[in-house]
Structure 1
Amino acid sequence: MKLSDFDFPLSDDRIAVRPAKPRTSAKLLLAKGDTITDRHVFDLPDILRAGDRLILNDTKVIPARLSGLRWRDTAQGRMSAKIEVTLLDPQPDGIWAALIKPLKKVKDGEEIVFSDALTATMISRADGQGLLQFNVTGDDFDAALNAVGAMPLPPYIAAKRPADDADKTDYQTAWAENAGAVAAPTASLHFDDSLLKTLADMGVEFTKVTLHVGAGTFLPVKVDNIADHKMHAERGEVSATAAAEVNATKAAGGRIIPVGTTALRLIESAAKDGQLHAWSGATDIFITPGFKFQLTDGLMTNFHLPKSTLMMLVSALMGVDQIKAIYAHALTHDYRFFSYGDASVLLPND
């Protein structure tokens, strides 16, 4: 298929720069087979049923955006220059892969100072990224990063406004636990504790898995033939307990509904012969039309970028023509798009 098959017109004013308040007041497009209706997230208890199992990604977004100073002795004296860093992927021993601006201005071996408690030394560079060795690790690193870091808002929001203190809550799920993501699993941002309790009380069950969402989720597809696209890899884990819960629900005839494309990609990566298996590693699974889903019966997700891999994923689940109808409906009914936007529940077989 061609990249143009997943394009649609979207005006800039449809991009949400702040989430709905409260979270559950966001609009919710319900697509059951060919039928589309307009609801709200707080209507989920009327949409889901006892025995359904929601798959929740419990990754926690770190305040990965840092602003620091690089100091250098020159003929004119000791000079500083501002350096912007976005952490991408942790390596062993306190080393992080990072985007660094301007990368070419930082020499290997140079130190970048972010605060009295947090500094990093440039080790090496490759593929437009740098490797940084931080001065602290573990809890000390987490504390220093939380003190000075900003939430790594998606580029289409960051272009409109800087991150602020509200984003430290807004851009984090109610069940965030395992730190390591540099982007949120955004469909999950629509839940609060009250909605979770209501769903649990009516017999909806929950399974947590972990996929650390990387900055690669925002990378554009640059090839016309989508079969030529190389998917970015992200680190994840499915526990033996999670696998057993999902398999029990499938055996009992319940529906498996991931909350977000990250949770869906992870369970389909760890599936074999219609069963979920304990799994840990990096996945670069690329789901496009024609993909055979082993576990997924439905999906809760936000509205995605034109010509993105996530448009291809939802098209694989619902069919290209139905996704075009869903997005046309969303555009004409004032839905808000992308990370802080409204949501959809996609049920292809209902």
Structure 2
Amino acid sequence: MKVDLFDFHLPEELIAQTPLENRTDSRLMVLNKETGEINHAIFKNIKQYLRKGDCLVLNDTRVLPARLYGAKKDTGAKIEVLLLKQIDGDQWETLIKPAKRIRVGMEIEFGEGLLTAVCTEEAEHGGRVLEFKYNGIFYEILDALGEMPLPPYIKEQLDDKDRYQTVFAKERGSAAAPTAGLHFTEELLEEIREMGVSTAFITLHVGLGTFRPVSVENVLEHDMHAEFYIVSEGTARLLNETRETGGRIITVGTTSTRTLETVASSNGGQFRADSGWTSIFIYPGYEFQAVDGMITNFHLPKSTLIMLVSALAGRENVLHAYETAVRERYRFFSFGDAMLII
């Protein structure tokens, strides 16, 4: 299966650079995964497409303000650090720019010494392991000094850090937001629950690999990145009950989808409490065991994300929907509009 099968033309001006003032004012394209029929709506009206007994599954990961700007302690040379993954205690796997300036033993200062780091290990492609030193609580210092690691296609500065967090973000650890969840407010979620639709939460910490382009010609040759997930006992029980009573399981975002399919595919289609690393790669031909529908944003051409969406709704249906979205001037990517596939 060729990667080029998932290509489409996207005018650059349709890439949303800033979030809308009101989260629920984004547009909503509703795609029937069986027929390919398309309807247009506003996200705040998503309730009319849900029904009593359904379950919405949301990813409660919280994005770290993981981009830090500092300087080498000895020379004052400017250094940019992106936190990728906590290894142990105060040691973090990071990306450094420019990497050639930082070698083992060198120190970096941030915030006039409020935070310092020593390089303890070098890796390829700008990777460095840093050990941080500070007084106080690390995450509070990070909140004060760090910037949100916005995707590379967003060129504008984000004035309010909270707009790159979902309103239900809880578990720290993501390098990127689960962006389909950005459309919800607490008020909308409460209105949905009052309809008899339940909400369940999983955690999947999104890695920067989600933005990595597919560099091979054949989909089957792509090496999928791994991300850490958690499914609680309560969530597993609620999902099993939803399935038993005939409700639909509708995931909010590709991250929730990948998490549920990871758990269900290793448990005979049932749900159980679980945690670990998933590198599941979903593309057309995959048989879904967990998910009936999905809320998602509009994704990059030739990305693993549009392949996942195509697996659920059919490649031709999805590409037609994307052509329609371009023609109708929908906003694309992280701060863009939404699609509901049911």
Name the counterpart of 1:76: none
CA distance in 2, matches of 1:18, 1:124: 37
Please tell me the residue identity of whatever aligns with 1:19.
Answer: P
Asked whether the equivalents of residues 103 and 122 of structure 2 are also in contact (C-alpha less than 8 Å), the reply is no
Name the counterpart of 2:132: 134
Corresponding residue SS for 1:109: coil
Corresponding pairs, count: 336
Asked whether the equivalents of residues 52 and 195 of structure 2 are also in contact (C-alpha less than 8 Å), the reply is yes
Report the Cα offset of residue 118 of structure 1.
1.0
Report the Cα offset of residue 273 of structure 1.
1.1
Q: Does residue 165 in structure 1 map to residue 163 in structure 2?
A: no
Name the counterpart of 1:75: none
Q: How does 1:54-65 map to 2 (within 5 A)?
A: 54-65=56-67
Deviations 1:221-263 (A, max 9, x none): 0000010000011111111111111011001110000100000
- Counterpart pick for 1:343 among 298, 320, 338: 338
Q: Does residue 302 in structure 1 map to residue 297 in structure 2?
A: yes
Name the counterpart of 1:216: 209
Q: Does residue 84 in structure 1 map to residue 80 in structure 2?
A: yes
Identity %: 47
- Counterpart pick for 1:122 among 119, 124, 133: 119
Asked whether the equivalents of residues 94 and 136 of structure 1 are also in contact (C-alpha less than 8 Å), the reply is no
Corresponding residue SS for 1:290: coil
Report the Cα offset of residue 117 of structure 1.
2.1
Gaps in structure 1 of 5+ consecutive residues: 73-78
CA distance in 2, matches of 1:315, 1:199: 27
- Counterpart pick for 1:235 among 228, 232, 243: 228
CA distance in 2, matches of 1:229, 1:93: 33
Deviations 1:24-55 (A, max 9, x none): 01000001232100001111111111111000
Q: Does residue 3 in structure 1 map to residue 3 in structure 2?
A: yes
Q: Does residue 202 in structure 1 map to residue 195 in structure 2?
A: yes
Gaps in structure 2 of 5+ consecutive residues: none
Q: Which moved more, 1:30-39 or 1:308-317?
A: 30-39
Deviations 1:104-129 (A, max 9, x none): 11111111101232111111121321
CA distance in 1, matches of 2:53, 2:137: 42
Please tell me the residue identity of whatever aligns with 2:240.
Answer: N
Root-mean-square deviation (CA), in Å? Answer: 1.1
Report the Cα offset of residue 136 of structure 1.
4.0
Name the counterpart of 1:22: 22
Q: 4+ runs of 1 displaced by more than 2 Å? A: none
Asked whether the equivalents of residues 64 and 172 of structure 2 are also in contact (C-alpha less than 8 Å), the reply is yes
The normalised TM-score by structure 1 is 0.94
CA distance in 2, matches of 1:313, 1:127: 29
Deviations 1:316-338 (A, max 9, x none): 00111111111111111110000
Corresponding residue SS for 2:305: helix
